[in-house]
Amino acid sequence: MKRKAHLFGIRHHGPGSAALLKGALDALDPACVLIEGSTEGDALIQHAALPGMKPPLAMLFYAADEAANAVFAPFAEFSPEWVAMQWALAHGRPVRFIDWPAAVSLALTKAAREERLAALERKAAELTENSDGEDPEEGASEAPTIRLDPLDLLAEAAGYGDGESFWNVLIEQHGSGQSPLEIFAAIEAAMTEARQHQADAGGMSDAEWLREKRREAFMRGHIRDALKQHDGEVAVVIGAWHVGGLRTETTVAEDRAIVKDLPRVKVEATWAPWSDGRLSYASGYGAGVISPGWYRHLWSLYSSDRHDGPEAFAAVWQARTAALLRQEGFDASTASAIEAARLALGLASMRGLSVPGLAEMRDASLSSLCHGDDIPLAMIERRLYIGSRIGEIDEAVPQMPLAKDFELWCRRTRLKPEETASEIKLDLRSEAGLLKSTFLHRLNLIGVHWGRLIDAEAGRGTYREIWSLAWSPDMSVGLAEAFVWGLTIEQAAAAATIDRGRNANGIAALSELVRGALVADLPEAASACIDLLQAAAVQNNDITDLMNAVAPLVRIVRYGTARKLPEPELRALITALSVEVNAGVRIGSRQLDDDAASQRIIAMRAYDEALGLFGDPALLAEWRRQLALLVDDEQAAAPVVGFSLRRLHDLSLWDEPRLSAAFSRQIVGESPTRAGAFIEAFISGSAEVLIQDQTLLFLIDEWLCGLDEEVFVESLPLFRRALTGFDAVGRKRIMERIAGGRKERSAAPDVIEDNPAFERALPLLKTILGMDAHDF
């Protein structure tokens, strides 16, 4: 009689399946255990029994030449595959994976992605050639295939509303007293029938069936090999869906033919921490479960040696619910938790369940602990039902160097990856704060955005930074991708920054890279980017780009004393860039379209502020001279002229008669469009400034009052647009201020008493405000 392997059809991450599987393995005592999974994971199985391996964990398989092409194989402590590995390692039995190699699946994924891109390009070309703009394939698409869930079919036959509920009652919350082997035999019969029904109903496309058949061909090959190598029983742990496929009688030649000539890529495999959130179905994980937190609680019932029974099981869950509610400030007493546990048990009895399920537990919590209010339960839902656990890897497990260095940095900085978003405030004057900041900045440079700066002033390199931290297991792929840049976080960040600098478009991007390298304490990368920036500035004629490059560099020099900076080189670079800006801003401000003029104004405002902070009197004087020349340049773009005149007024460099004359020149005889653009830039800013600045306000008022009716009507929409930046209160106060009329200044100046303390502090105040001596 032909020997057959024992096929144990499980549900991925099902605690009931895991408990049944453990019982089945104990009863069968197989000589060999085979598990559905990529064969490259065989080398990683031995680490599963190490004491430092704390699920949830995942095997990460990624293409050696393209780390972004990756796939995870997650495991929780209640996953049947994890339990199978633990059982085999504890009993000294051979254990290996039998699914198709990740080398094949990743190669096919890459090919499919490239084919989709090529198809999109072909379609775009066809649409371009089709002059009437109609889609040549419109109306020719086939009706989409409706995917039928075999569990839903079984659930319908058994009188359940959906497959999830059916499986949970039958398997995950089992208590029928049947032997595990009998239950798995029943699963095999039911799932084989459901699979056949799906095939007859056309519930899967030809491509999907081909994929499944290829995977099962690989599995059958490994099962045949195991039956030849081992005289004892062979246990095969697979998804219940595959049981019927593996029982299909095929020849070796047929299985080899269907997998012949499949593409492959070189694959690297390692362990990576996973999380409860990524185990959940809500994360988009196809094999996810609705509530990892609940399934962990179920597993505690099945795996405990105490056998406390459903009463303790319900009490622990409701006590946890009450504790979380109290943490959120809600009144949840111990007596209410006891009542909730009793209610859950009563609901389970009424519904024919041996232990309360998630629905019974939730209904009981809602009634007894939340008094029917959904809001308190919703506030703890993620922590209670999903969970917030992130796995840990034993120190003895070989990892890729970047992942190992990442863990060392986490220990040094005492930062622990957590999926729940949290905020940390860093004082860069302390060694601990500066170390954490450096670490997070370096991670951002290699594309691992664990931390995000959320404080407005943090980007200026002050002594204070506020970060928002939220870890995702997908960031492990980012670490794998960054491996091409170096063996450590520091090496990778430096190399990635330099490479990005060599490929940067525009010197503003290079300036940001210089800033990023400096705050990440990468002096060599910063020096390399400074050299690239200097070379690019020589060839760059875009004044806006040059202005945008100055501001971040000045902020670093001005505020970056918490870090070691190449200050002489930075100052020389800022000076060189500023000289180029000052020399070319007038000619470069001619013939600008609306978008270019808008970008120029933003850049001029930032550049003007930066020069004030930089503190070079010669550069500042030349910049202000250029502003005056721009006001008198008839070819300069109107918004640039408006900003320039306004800035000269704000700095009190021009008196009222000169300001009024320049204002009139830009308005009188000009088209409403140009005049409106000038006005919009001239009055931009805070309404409060306009209210307090009598000269500015009544200059505009006199202009409006002097317009004839036709010009006024043409100018009104443009003027209204200029005022849209002011809120309703600001506009109302402006009207009240105009109605009050111009107030004459007193002829006699106010007498200011001498204040020696103020006189001593005045030089420092001027330096802080970035003002010259003649500004007072």
pLDDT tens column, 94-153: 999 999 999 999 999 989 888 888 888 787 777 666 655 455 444 444 444 444 566 666
Q: How far is CA 305 from CA 49, 231, 293, 296, 299, in A?
A: 20, 33, 20, 16, 12
Q: What is d(CA 430, CA 436) in angstroms, rounded to the nearest whole number?
A: 10
CA dihedral 263, 268, 270, 272 (to 10 degrees): -70
Mean residue pLDDT across the chain: 81
H-state helical runs in 130-162? 150-158
Lowest mean pLDDT among 15-24, 390-399, 418-427, 674-683: 674-683
Residues whose CB is less than 8 angstroms from the CB of residue 88 and which lie 6 or more positions away in sequence, other chains included: 33, 94, 95
pLDDT of residue 169 exceeding 70: no
Q: What is d(CA 74, CA 62) in angstroms, rounded to the nearest whole number?
A: 14
Asked whether the bond before 56 is cis by omega within 30 degrees of 0, the reply is yes
Calculate what percentage of the chain has a pLDDT beyond 90.
26
Q: 36 in helix, strand or coil?
A: strand
Q: What is the pLDDT of residues 648-680, one digit of tens each?
A: 887 888 887 887 778 777 776 677 778 777 777
Q: 96 in helix, strand or coil?
A: strand
pLDDT at 546: 87
Query: What is the mean predicted confidence (pLDDT) over 624-633?
Result: 89
pLDDT at 398: 85
Q: What is d(CA 549, CA 535) in angstroms, rounded to the nearest whole number?
A: 13
The secondary structure of 727-770 as a DSSP string is -HHHHHHHHHHHHT-PPPPPSSPPP----HHHHHHHHHHHHHHT
Lowest mean pLDDT among 131-140, 216-225, 498-507, 728-737: 131-140
Q: What is the pLDDT of residues 305-322, one digit of tens each?
A: 666 678 888 999 999 999
Query: What is the mean predicted confidence (pLDDT) over 158-185?
Result: 69
pLDDT of residue 421 exceeding 70: yes
Calculate what percentage of the chain has a pLDDT beyond 70.
78
Lowest mean pLDDT among 173-182, 189-198, 574-583: 173-182
pLDDT of residue 563 exceeding 80: no
Amino acid letter, residue 19: A
Is residue 389 within 8 A of residue 56, CB to CB? The reply is yes
pLDDT at 157: 66
165-174, 228-237, 394-403: range with highest mean pLDDT: 228-237
pLDDT at 152: 66
Residues whose CB is less than 8 angstroms from the CB of residue 686 and which lie 6 or more positions away in sequence, other chains included: 730
Q: How far is CA 751 from CA 170, 692, 746, 755, in A?
A: 92, 22, 12, 12
Name the band, by pLDDT with cuts 50, 70 and 90, for residue 743.
low
Q: What is the pLDDT of residues 74-94, one digit of tens each?
A: 999 999 999 999 999 999 999
Query: What is the mean predicted confidence (pLDDT) over 337-363?
Result: 89
Q: What is the pLDDT of residues 482-541, one digit of tens each?
A: 877 887 899 999 999 998 888 887 787 888 888 888 888 898 898 888 888 888 877 777
- Spell out where 263-405 has E strands: 267-273
pLDDT at 138: 47
Lowest mean pLDDT among 224-228, 361-365, 411-415, 596-600: 596-600
pLDDT of residue 192 exceeding 80: yes
Is residue 582 within 8 A of residue 626, CB to CB? The reply is yes
Q: What is the pLDDT of residues 638-651, one digit of tens each?
A: 888 888 888 888 78
Residues whose CB is less than 8 angstroms from the CB of residue 530 and which lie 6 or more positions away in sequence, other chains included: 514, 566, 569, 570, 573
pLDDT of residue 710 exceeding 80: no
